[in-house]
Structure 1
Amino acid sequence: MGRARPVGRAWSNEVWRVAATTGVYAVKLFPTGMTARGRRQLEAGMAFESLVLGSGKVLVPRPVTASAQWLVELETPAGQRLARCHSWVAGTPASAPLPLPLLQTAGAYLGFMHAMDQPGGDTAQLPVFDVDRWERAVRAAARSRIEWAGLLADLTPLVEDLNADVDPVRAQRRPMRVSHRDYDPRNAVVDQADRLVITDWDHAGPVLPGVELVTAATSFGTNDAEVAAFVHSYREAGGNATAADPLAMAVEAVDLDWLLRNVEACLDSDPATCSVEHHTARTLIETFPGAVEALRSWPARLSAASS
């Protein structure tokens, strides 16, 4: 084994760049104590990743494995942990705005994935928002006297409205498909041949395809013309999702795990040790109302831009 160095974090996972005699690899370590449900979700994501890789239509980092499950168990100082390994993709982050050809590639990739039409159940299985977790975070932020505690508390009525909006979507049992589920430039790399490579498939699972189309197009595209180009390439590649209605967008808007993770990381902690999380939490809190309004308005804008 060669030298290893940390290269960043994916949610709560550690990622290492390992240089060995056989090549350079990205090794991801998952948290200790993963639940059986968490492992099933991870394995489902890997199964979809395998299908996409096998299609040859989307560039994906190649898994390196000693088992059919693409997972190994490692003994670490923190205890036994699951790990995954991929060939390292040399390149640069696919930060928006992208050159038009790469933007079109991003749209085509999503179109290919949706055209695979992998069933993902229906919206009756949408998770219930953890109201208790939200309320605990609001109370703890107030006790800690964090400067943005009041702003967080002020979001509660909006969060409650969004949570209520999901109930009719759940009752309608709208069909879902399995897809990447976190498809944006943060999870893509432009390799040394100027090709777009899509990374971080561990979160893959059921989505409302119309919602993912909106969020992906508006993540890779920075204006209406770019969004229209993304959607056009999506359609050309076989993607057939229609733009989601504003009610369905509540499913995306009420997914507050990332915001809450950053809030929770700052509670009862020395601000000097969580400066990144503190800045991220404040930014997410301050921009949340505008982001919700944008999500609600984008389905109509997307339809107009791509017509």
Structure 2
Amino acid sequence: MDPPRTVDRLLATFGVPADVVAVAEVGRAWSNRVWSVRTTRGHYAVKELLNPWGDPLWREWLEEAIRFEQFAVDAGVRSPNLLRTGTGDAVVDLDGRTFRAHEWIEDSRPCPDGSANASIVRAVARDLATMHALGVEPTRQDVFPVPTTATCDGWPDLIGELQQVASPYAHDAERIALEVATIRSWFVRRPDGRMVMSHGDVDQKNLLLANGSTWLVDWDVAAPWLPAEEAMRTAMSLANWTSPVIVDDFLATYFREGGEAFEPDASLLAHDLRISLDWLDRCLRIASGLLPAERHRVAEARQQIDAEMHRLPNHVAIVGDLAR
């Protein structure tokens, strides 16, 4: 972005004609880019959407996600107010780039990493139960990725491709082959059930804390989820995958607030693990030159690989011992 000229034009498109006072890039944003924009009229969060998955239908997916975001906010889920143009559009194209914007939550701070405290856990459980109770289905099912075992099934081929280009990550990919096979075995016995629209990425990085409340942000990947799967992956995330007490507290609150009851099981975390594996596959290909990418994306992919190669085997081990 070229502040303040680009920001001035963008906010004017959203019906906020004002002089820009300050622009600062926000940390913790990886998939997209986010700026804090102060103007003479207010304070806003401006996001440039970058389609990090390279999904050809990402714009249609985004429209479905924004539609659900508004449903959830209207139902009482705390989230920053979304800016729209005079014609009701929440997404704006400017100079070949794509943006959306929200009002800034004043005096907010990011939710700390690590295990969340009880008040955050219970607030998020209530919000998730609220979202699931809405029972919102997308107007188009075809814009969302279909969960399959394709990445698991293709892992031996990925290892071969990495070896062929002498990638330094070939050994890492080979080292977690057993975990990949285990994820597949859990995935194929996922329970059946009705999938409904939900946030899809409720964890510490997408929570803001302000005025004694928890605010949920980053709805860009909202998609259909089996409620039990999302409840389980959210409980584990808020517990930082380390605290059974937090998982129990989250699930107890979720059930009490109207979430449909279920028994924790490894199969309920298979979808979440598979998403992580899909992302790792993509990062391995980018970092090894199998997928073309800009230089900063290659550097980011390498950082993601280092983190996932530590996290994924650890999470698989925990899920394998979930009952205990």
TM-score by length of 1: 0.80
Partner of 1:87: 103
Residue in 2 aligned with 1:39? 59
Partner residue in 2 for 1:159? 180
Task: Please state how far the C-alpha of 1:187 moved relative to its aligned partner.
Answer: 0.7
Please report how far the alpha carbon of residue 97 of structure 1 lies from its aligned counterpart in structure 2 after TM superposition.
2.9
**Residue 127 of structure 1 corresponds to which residue in structure 2?**
147
Distance 1:267 1:154 in 2: 17
**Residue aligning to 2:136:** 118
Corresponding position of 1:259? 280
Equivalent residues of 1:271, 1:278 under 8 A apart: no
Q: Is the 8 Å Cα contact of residues 48 and 97 (structure 2) preserved in structure 1?
A: yes
The number of residues matched between the two structures is 289
Distance 1:9 1:265 in 2: 21
3-state DSSP class of the match of 1:5?
Answer: strand
Instruction: Give the direction of change, closer, same or farther, for the CA distance of 1:272–1:176 in structure 2 (3 Å limit).
Output: closer
1:7/1:141 CA distance change after superposition, 3 Å: farther
Match runs of 1:139-218 below 5 Å: 139=160, 141-142=162-163, 147-163=168-184, 165-167=186-188, 169=190, 173-191=192-210, 193-218=211-236
User: Structure 2 vs 1, CA of residues 223 and 157 (structure 1 numbering), >3 Å: closer, same or farther?
Assistant: closer
Give deviations 1:127-168, integer Å, cap 9, x for gaps: 334449756754565466565531222223432453355345
Partners of 2:248 and 2:201 lie apart in 1 by 20
Amino acid at match of 1:94: C
Alpha-carbon RMSD = 3.2
Specify the SS of the correspondent of 1:242.
coil
- 1 or 2, which has the higher strand percentage? 1
Look up the equivalent residue of 2:104 and give its one-letter code: W
Q: The residue matched to 1:181 in structure 2 has which SS?
A: coil
Q: Structure 1 residues 236, 135: CA separation in 2 closer, same or farther (over 3 Å shift)?
A: same
Pick closer, same or farther for the CA change 1:32–1:187 going to 2, 3 Å: closer
Structure 1: any 5+ residue segments left out of the alignment? Answer: 302-307
Aligned pair in 2 of structure 1 residues 228, 168: CA closer, same or farther (>3 Å)?
A: closer
What amino acid is the match of 1:13? N
Secondary structure at the aligned position of 2:88 is classed as coil
State the partner residue of 1:30. Answer: 49
Structure 2's unaligned 5+ residue stretches are: 1-7, 9-19
The percentage of counterpart residues that share the same residue type is 26
| Deviation of the 1:36 alpha carbon | 5.7
8 Å CA contact 2:31–2:51 kept in 1: the answer is: no
